[in-house]
Amino acid sequence: MDADASGDTGSATPGRVRYVFANVEFDEWLGRLRVDGELVEVEPRPLRLLAELLRRVNEVLTKEELLDAVWQGRPTVDHVLANAVSKLRMALGPAGAGRLATLPRVGYRFSGPVQRLPAGGADSAFETGQTLVGRDGFVLDRLLGQGGNSDVWLARHAKLGQSHVFKLATDGPRLAALKREFTLYRLLGQTLGPRPDIARVLDANFQSPPFFLECEYGGRSLLEWADDGSKLLELSGAQRLDVFLQVARAVAAAHSVGVLHKDLKPGNVLIDGQRGAWAVKLTDFGSGRLLEPERLAELRLTALGMSQAADAGASSSRSATGSTLMYMAPELLAGQAPTLQSDVYSLGVMLFQLLVGDLRRTLSGGWQQDLDDPLLVEEIDAATQGTPARRTAGVAMLVDRLSRLEERRADRSLRAANAALAQAAAADAAQRRARLPWLVTAVAALAIGLLVSVFMAVHAERARTAALQAQAQTQAVSDFLHHDVMETPDVLTSGSVRPLQLMDLMRQASRNAGDRFRGQPLAEAVVRRRIAETYLRRAAVAEAMNELSKARKLLVAAQADDSTEGLMLRFLGARALLWARQVPKARELLAEAEQSTGAARMAAATELGAAASRARLEFMLDAGQAREAVPLALRLVQQVDQIRSPQSPHRVDARQRLAETYLRAGLDTQAEQVFAELAKPPLNAPGMAGEYKARALVVEAEKLASANRFDEAHGLVQQARALLGPAATANLFYLAFVEYWDGACELGKGRPVQARRHFTAAMTLIVESIGTDHVYIEMMRHAGALAALEAGQATDAAAMFEQVDRWYRNNVNELGQAASRFGRVAALTDLGQPAAALELLEAIPAHNLAQFDPAPGLAPRVSAERARALLALGRAAEAKPMLRQAVLDMKAAQVPAWKVSRYERLL
């Protein structure tokens, strides 16, 4: 804009200005238009149009530019711009309207001169240096801003040097507004407690003029701070996002107790601190609204300024004039009542401005081109949708999604890398459907990968131990495996009338090994490593680590800790630590093993090379790096093929790992080819086809149940049961999982009594197949406890959760403990012990909760249980909004209906 033509004094803060021309004054900051000194009521759209024209005086603006700036590219009816111009001319009167010229088929131009002055400065009833009556010692220092309800001044104590902010009013209407704001601040303070991100009210005077609210000084406004030396541009993108998240968390906290801010903008955010440690405070709830007025009675707060008339005024007229126009949601511009989604819109605009480093930038058409992060573009777009129902579900959800950007970027990067593979796979979709039976077998083979018989495995692994022991020791190992293990019936053999309990067998083998190999530490170490590997295949992590510890001590005593066997122990130990979710220790041990082994030995076709490849592959799959892991999975197959016989179960296991890697990387066709190979001799297991298919059906049922499609899932479970046949001849281990998912489907359909029967049956089958002391037993017991809880059998549920907790505690599984203790929280509340429930809930480490159930629905479930306990303690004012928000968040996260219903009933 030409400064001479506009008459710009240069003294106004950008965005906080009054435009003066002819007999007209327009305060853009307040959205207030005066003609001949009289306030003129104008609809928001014509006012926004006037602001755009005045920013670019004497410049021709095309119709397209004005539509983008004012309507932000949203669909409009014909002649909407012409209608707005007509309304604007009528409001301006003859003198002002004469400045607005129409250029046919081009656009519009507003002619100067136009003065730009500080917003509201001339109307203040107070002045710098004035002593504040009623607050001895404080002297007004400078005007921070003016609104429809008050003048906002920074005042300094003459002796103490303290700075406080005072919102001042001199008349009745403004006094009512101050009382209203004071009430909202009291409610926030009593329900949320002291928060560093929400400004505190220190004192108030409603007795005699000048009336005031006294607030703590939290720094300059974000708008003023950003314009001082381009401080905002000096921040990195991550730092700007952190500033926004601080603001959003404060808004989310206010929403959680039913307070709507309704005037979110940079001018109402205070910022203070030093580089790298900027702290923000949300302030000015003068336009705020209380969504649940009954809260005041619950908290025994006097409803100062909260009359229906005052509330109605705050909902209508203030919505059109109290907020800066660019931050107003479309429904407010249309005259509708504000909602929580209105604040989401305002935050979306602020997020855009902070990220581009310009708090004056409007969210006009093409704004997406100013950002190079697709995820951030999506979040802003979702938050600023024109229809409230289509916006981000709430500020808390916006905070959660922005807080997980790095995690989501990594996930998107992997999915993007797989997109090309998926596109290629789509070309032969018809062929894949024709080969569906192979895919069913494939999924089944994956599912049973950890259940390959230990007896065949340890028998095949006796090769290549000569480097560690003499021929006599090798023969001793072979004899031990043959007599103590191989002559015992296979635990997983199909058709066994009484399958052996594997865990008991392994414990017996562990006890016998000490006597059998007395004086032969190297041979005993080999056997214990093999027993540990067997335990690990069955997820018995604690017992596997115990055997590994014994084997390591034997090697240290024999001064063979750095031998090949010692390195193999390290690789297996790293896998065990990964299973135990001790990830940092696991990575450290794996790195140590790899460094000691060296690249050449890890690539060699030896037992050590295969152990190294298997360990690194498990770590990569655990980290979601399936695409990068494909070459390593192929190398593992090649290594095992060179050191194992054609019938070795290790060959089956290596190919199952390869197929799993292919599937996770989106390479379905390649995975099918691997499973086709597994179904043929010599790799196929006789009599296992039906069991493989049954397990595949159960896996598909699990997916459907996770999507709340319980009827479809139940049908697949019944098909799997038919394939396994009667219990007298069926593989009891697989039958246990059929019972488990049968129960899960019943629970999902709201039949907890029937579900508990299935879970009990599943637990019995697990005991009969692999023994009593096992993680699968506790899985089934935990599910039974959940069913008991839903059936109203809280006493049984609490006892079962306690059993599960004790087992996980003894087996050093923090994630299992988190799951069982979270279940106990609900049971304790049902049993009338809400205080104990809250204490237990607070004692569960948050990171363990997040790990045992990373789904989006966990956080609101935790909030819901906390709210239930608070309700039982009579703290309804605190609990109700928490519970209401938790229910909304659970539904948004698609938590199964049966989990939501127990909380929804309380509302």
How far are the Cα atoms of 745, 801, 874 from residue 827, in angstroms, in the given order? Answer: 22, 9, 18
Q: Which residues lie below 8 Å from residue 881, measured CB to CB, with a gap of 6+? A: 256, 257, 258, 292, 295
- Distances from the Cα of 29 to the Cα of 13, 392, 541, 773, 859, angstroms: 10, 27, 64, 70, 39
Cβ(84)–Cβ(69) below 8 Å: no
Q: At what angle do helices 858-872 and 897-904 cross, to 10 degrees?
A: 30
pLDDT at position 519 is 76
- Sheet architecture: strand order including 277-282: 220-221, 269-274, 277-282
pLDDT value, residue 64: 85
Residue 796 near residue 788 (C-beta atoms within 8 A): yes
DSSP reduced 3-state for 499? coil
User: Rounded to an integer, what distance in angstroms lies between the CA atom of residue 137 and that of residue 158?
Assistant: 6
SS3 call for 40: strand
Nearest to 740 by CA among 406, 447, 477: 447
Q: How many helices (H) and strands (E) does the chain have?
A: 42, 18
Tell me the C-alpha distance between 780 and 736, whole Å: 9
**Three-state DSSP class for 740?**
helix
Token digits of residue 294: 């009954």
Of 383, 385, 325, nearest to 355 by C-alpha is 383
| Total number of residues shown for the chain | 907
Report which of 15, 893, 897, 895 is spatially closest to residue 393, judged by C-alpha positions.
Answer: 893
What's the pLDDT score for residue 365? 78
Residue 286, φ and ψ in degrees, nearest 5: -65, -25
- Pick from 786, 745, 784: nearest CA to 761: 784
Q: Which pLDDT score, from 0 to 100, does residue 122 have?
A: 40
pLDDT of residue 190: 83
Q: How far is CA 116 from CA 41, 221, 699, 723, 774, in A?
A: 21, 21, 69, 83, 77
Per DSSP bridges, beta strands 100-103 and 107-110 are: antiparallel
Angle 891-895-896 from CA coordinates, rounded to 5°: 115
The reported pLDDT for the residue numbered 695 is 63
Annotate 223-286 with three-state secondary structure.
HHHHCCCCHHHHCCHHHHHHHHHHHHHHHHHHHHCCEECCCCCHHHEEEEEECCEEEEEECCCC
What secondary structure does DSSP assign to 324-354, as a single string?
A: -GGGS-HHHHTTPPP-HHHHHHHHHHHHHHH
How many CB atoms neighbour CB 150 within 10 A?
Answer: 24
Question: What does each C-alpha distance from 370 to 49, 356, 377 come to in angstroms?
Answer: 23, 7, 9
Q: What is the pLDDT of residue 311?
A: 41
| Token reading at 375 | 């995820």
* Per-residue CA distances from 184 to 181, 194, 253, 318, 887 (Å): 5, 14, 13, 16, 25
d(CA 882, CA 737): 37
Whole-number Å distance between alpha carbons of 300 and 67: 49
* Helices within 448-520 (DSSP H only): 454-460, 471-481, 502-516
pLDDT attached to residue 691 = 57
Residues facing 108 on adjacent strands? 61, 102
- Sheet harboring 138-146: ordered strands across? 138-146, 151-157, 163-169, 211-216, 201-205
pLDDT at residue number 275: 55
Cα 128 from Cα 142, distance rounded (Å): 6
Sheet containing 17-21: which strands, arranged edge to edge?
38-40, 32-35, 24-27, 17-21, 115-118
- Sorted by sequence, the CB contacts under 8 Å of residue 586 that are 6+ apart come out as 574, 575, 577, 578, 580, 619
Q: What is the pLDDT of residue 244?
A: 94
Average pLDDT for consecutive 10-residue bins of the chain (907 residues)?
Answer: 35 57 81 82 84 88 85 70 89 90 89 75 65 81 75 88 87 76 87 86 83 88 80 85 93 87 90 76 86 68 50 36 70 83 94 91 86 91 89 87 81 59 50 42 35 32 35 46 41 36 66 74 82 73 82 84 85 84 82 88 88 89 80 89 74 78 71 69 57 63 76 86 70 79 86 88 77 72 88 87 82 70 87 88 70 65 88 87 88 77 79
Give the Cα separation of 847 and 414 in Å (integer).
Answer: 24
- pLDDT value for 314: 38
With beta carbons less than 8 A apart as the criterion, state whether 712 and 704 touch: yes
Closest by CA position to 74, among listed 316, 345, 374, 320: 345
Edge-to-edge strand list for the sheet holding 60-62: 60-62, 107-110, 100-103
| pTM > 0.75: yes or no | no
Looking at residue 500, its amino acid is L
What type of residue sits at position 824? R
Nearest Cα to 890, choosing from 841, 855, 866? 855
Q: How far apart, in whole angstroms, are the C-alpha atoms of residue 639 and residue 662?
A: 18
Alpha carbon of 651 to those of 490, 615, 851: distances in Å?
Answer: 19, 16, 33
